[in-house]
Chains A and B, each alone.
Chain A
Amino acid sequence: MSYSFGEGAPYNSAGGDPRGPVVSMRGISKSFGHVQALRNVDLDLYPGEVVALVGDNGAGKSTLVKILAGVHPQDAGTVTFEGRQVSIPSPAASRELGIATVFQDLALCDNLDVVANLFLGREVGGAVLDEETMERRSWELLRQLSARIPSVRMRAATLSGGQRQTVAIARSLIGDPRVVILDEPTAALGIAQTAEVLNLIELLRERGHCVVLISHNMADVQAVADRVIVLRLGRVNGRFRAPAMSYEDIIASITGVLNLEEGTPEDDIGERGSL
């Protein structure tokens, strides 16, 4: 009835299987000089789920997603995307595969309006931009996200924090990625904007995207995540699944009080989580 992962698993073998993982990372290690940022990390991402990566500062969360985003290549280990082994040498390659990343600083151009930000580098039209098409597609996209943005001709500088986050996420969705990585999407947001972003994460999940969420806010993580992966000092120190994860267990795992050995299949942990 249950399977963990690996070769023998019934759904994992076929690449196009909608129930198999989109991304499988195996034995990922990465060091910067003498600092070993990641040691032998395994991670599976399935479509239509929200996976939270949590951990202390310097635990390796950002390094792990930067490997997926094509910012750093890994030193060892393999990345499998939809069943085939891939290398992600550059951010463009990552995009090409269908992995979209929204970094913490959002990287919006304050002096450009929403439409220009959404289509920056991917403008529609030749020598003369097809503003009309871009504006229409911006509205479509924002409406799908139930975005509360009153005008797409507002400059990014005038948007609220939640609206900026929404625009950044909307931009990542152009090209229909399979995996959306959000780095601290709710940091520095007010309560209403946080609600907006959390709803948006649920919406992405419903639409079948896999969302990887990096956050320090346990309430947000617990609210939307299906699985929580705890990193500690570059290692996976705990894996929890939705109904059985408790705040205390996650914190204990982050701080190292609870130490789960590496590479334990998630099914076992799921059951142990109900201690």
Chain B
Amino acid sequence: MEAHRRTPGSQTSLREANRGRIVDAVRKYGGLSQIELAGLTGLSPATVSNIVKELAGAGVLNTTPGTRSGRRAQNVTLAHGLGLVAGVHFSTRHLRIAVSDVAYTVVAETHMPLAKDHRADNELDRVTMLLDDMLESVGAAMIDLLAVGVAIPAAFDQRTGMIARRGVLRGWDGVEVADVIQRRLKRPVFVDTDANASALGELRLGAARGKDDVVFVDVGDRIGAGLVLNGRVYSGHGGMAGELGHTVIQEDGPLCECGNRGCVQAIAGGEALIQRLQSSGRGAKLQDVIVRAMTGESDSVRAIADAGTAIGIATANLCNLLDPERIVVGGELARSGELLLGPMRREVERAIVAGTRFAPEIVQGQLGVNASAMGAVALAVDRISIQPEDATAAEPGVSAGVASSVLAAERSTAREVAAE
């Protein structure tokens, strides 16, 4: 941290660097006392005190009096005067939570690995407790949350509020996700498929910014797509659009979890990759496959390239249907970069009917593993800035009618900030 901040010369640049250090530290730890900040940044308590006072005046930091080890202390947090939103991303093996203000400044984030086949009740309990904890660490409470966005790794039926198909995410069958979380948190909750959330995240903050027609391809344990058409995320009639992973590309191929044969996911999904490469008595994760491929192990490189080809074929079909401007590839496997993107690009360019000239550019997502969590934040921010009657009309399945007075009061300010 010291190395890249070391600036030569002037008093001003030094002060600038110190300010950066303090904000970085507060962001990392959520809430800190001034004396802890001094220890962490290596600055003198007097300097910390001055800078904190200055930044608090500028509205960047927020200070509250508290106690630490029985002594009076100033507790420093990032300012979040406009209210907070939370984005929750369940993937098949991970839980990520981001708490951010309505201008997408993340004030706290948490991540934890999840068991395969995790159960909804258990995990939703965890979300409640983790959110409580995170909010407390930034000096806020559940009431400060304007809305919560949730991204889940399965096609989500907006009409019933449940996972659209049984057996895909076993522990979550028959759970009315939004309702259950809403009952626990007592805040408005909006749910969408993780690929859609990622697409929204990349559209607002990442590689799809400023584009109107984009396909986000999510490649991990699961393969899915989030479609952005005319600048909006398109989730279809019932919310089930973009199931790219269940495009059949090999009619007599391996059996997929959906019951069909030869789906892309059954050929190029994370589990298929691991199974293909797993030879010894030890366990393996998708992460290991990527790391090994990056160190040049030929089996893994080949497996990822083959996956890229398979996904490329499916993506090419999609491109011929939708003619997107850009393909953003995200998800865990996207971390292998060109090893995956190269073969995808080759297949797409080969199969575009209108000719290579019209092929969309294929790029890696910019938000990485946080795409869905940030997308879930964006989902929440989007919904709080529309009128409650619109919300209920536009989203029949999702209970958006919880328009508390706090929400109404905050809404206009929220919109102003979002517009900036």
Instruction: Give the B-binding residues of A (Cβ under 8 A).
Output: 1-5, 11, 19, 44, 46, 48-50, 148, 150-153, 158, 190-192, 194-195, 198-199, 202, 206, 218-227, 241-243, 245-247, 265-267, 270
| B residues in contact with A195, CB < 8 Å | 110-112, 130
Task: For B283, give its contact among A223, A226, A246 (CB under 8 Å).
Answer: A226
Q: Are B285 and A242 in contact (CB under 8 A)?
A: yes
For B134, give the chain A residue with the smallest CB separation. Answer: A192
Q: Are B114 and A223 in contact (CB under 8 A)?
A: yes
Q: Are A1 and B279 in contact (CB under 8 A)?
A: yes
| A residues in contact with B291, CB < 8 Å | 206
**Contact status of A192 and B116, CB under 8 A, knowing A4-B281, A5-B281, A150-B29:** no
For A3, give the chain B residue with the smallest CB separation. Answer: B280
A226 to B288, CA, bound (A): 11
| A residues in contact with B275, CB < 8 Å | 243
- Among all A-B residue pairs, the 5 with the closest Cβ atoms: A226-B283, A222-B115, A195-B112, A242-B283, A150-B36
B122 within 8 A of A: yes
| A residues in contact with B118, CB < 8 Å | 219, 222
| A residues in contact with B281, CB < 8 Å | 3-5, 44, 46, 227, 241, 265-267, 270
| B residues in contact with A50, CB < 8 Å | 283
Q: Are B288 and A48 in contact (CB under 8 A)?
A: yes
| B residues in contact with A49, CB < 8 Å | 282-283
The interface size of chain B toward A, counting residues with CB under 8 Å, comes to: 39
Interface string of B252-286 (1 = CB under 8 A from A): 00000000000000000001001100111111110
Q: Are B133 and A2 in contact (CB under 8 A)?
A: no
Minimum CB–CB distance from B247 to chain A (whole Å) comes to 23
A62 to B116, CA, bound (A): 26
A65 to B114, CA, bound (A): 25
| A residues in contact with B271, CB < 8 Å | 243
Q: Are A151 and B112 in contact (CB under 8 A)?
A: no
| B residues in contact with A199, CB < 8 Å | 111-113
Minimum CB–CB distance from A47 to chain B (whole Å) comes to 9
| B residues in contact with A241, CB < 8 Å | 278, 281-283
Task: For B130, give its contact among A46, A191, A220 (CB under 8 Å).
Answer: A191
For A266, give the chain B residue with the smallest CB separation. Answer: B281
Q: Are A246 and B130 in contact (CB under 8 A)?
A: no
For B40, give the chain A residue with the smallest CB separation. Answer: A150
B350 within 8 A of A: no
Minimum CB–CB distance from A41 to chain B (whole Å) comes to 15
| B residues in contact with A202, CB < 8 Å | 113
A35 to B35, CA, bound (A): 55
B393 within 8 A of A: no
Minimum CB–CB distance from B111 to chain A (whole Å) comes to 6
A3 to B280, CA, bound (A): 6
| A residues in contact with B111, CB < 8 Å | 195, 199
A219 to B121, CA, bound (A): 12
| A residues in contact with B283, CB < 8 Å | 49-50, 225-227, 241-243
Q: A148-B29, A195-B130, A224-B113 are in contact. List 11 more A-B contacts (CB 8 A).
A: A49-B282, A150-B32, A151-B36, A151-B39, A192-B130, A198-B113, A222-B115, A223-B112, A225-B283, A226-B283, A266-B281
| A residues in contact with B69, CB < 8 Å | 158
Task: For B133, give its contact among A48, A152, A191, A270 (CB under 8 Å).
Answer: A191
Q: Are A19 and B126 in contact (CB under 8 A)?
A: no
Minimum CB–CB distance from B37 to chain A (whole Å) comes to 8
Minimum CB–CB distance from B22 to chain A (whole Å) comes to 13
For B136, give the chain A residue with the smallest CB separation. Answer: A192
Minimum CB–CB distance from A182 to chain B (whole Å) comes to 15
A206 to B60, CA, bound (A): 36
| A residues in contact with B134, CB < 8 Å | 192
| A residues in contact with B280, CB < 8 Å | 2-3, 11, 19, 46
Minimum CB–CB distance from B373 to chain A (whole Å) comes to 14
Q: Are B112 and A198 in contact (CB under 8 A)?
A: yes
| B residues in contact with A148, CB < 8 Å | 28-29
A20 to B126, CA, bound (A): 38
| B residues in contact with A225, CB < 8 Å | 283
A22 to B140, CA, bound (A): 47
A202 to B291, CA, bound (A): 14
Which chain B residues numbered 32 to 53 have a C-beta less than 8 Å away from chain A? 32-33, 35-36, 39-40
Q: Are A226 and B285 in contact (CB under 8 A)?
A: yes
**Contact status of A194 and B112, CB under 8 A, knowing A49-B282, A151-B36, A243-B274:** yes
B390 within 8 A of A: no
Task: For A191, give its contact among B93, B126, B287 (CB under 8 Å).
Answer: B126
A267 to B69, CA, bound (A): 54
Q: Are A153 and B282 in contact (CB under 8 A)?
A: no
B141 within 8 A of A: no
Q: Are B115 and A247 in contact (CB under 8 A)?
A: yes
Minimum CB–CB distance from B184 to chain A (whole Å) comes to 14
Minimum CB–CB distance from A148 to chain B (whole Å) comes to 6
| A residues in contact with B416, CB < 8 Å | none
Task: For B287, give its contact among A190, A206, A220, A267 (CB under 8 Å).
Answer: A206
For B283, give the chain A residue with the smallest CB separation. Answer: A226
Task: For B129, give its contact among A191, A245, A267 (CB under 8 Å).
Answer: A191
| A residues in contact with B115, CB < 8 Å | 218-223, 247
B117 within 8 A of A: yes
A190 to B69, CA, bound (A): 21
Interface string of B173-192 (1 = CB under 8 A from A): 00000000000000000000
For A245, give the chain B residue with the smallest CB separation. Answer: B116
A15 to B136, CA, bound (A): 50
Q: Are A247 and B112 in contact (CB under 8 A)?
A: no
A197 to B295, CA, bound (A): 28
| A residues in contact with B122, CB < 8 Å | 219
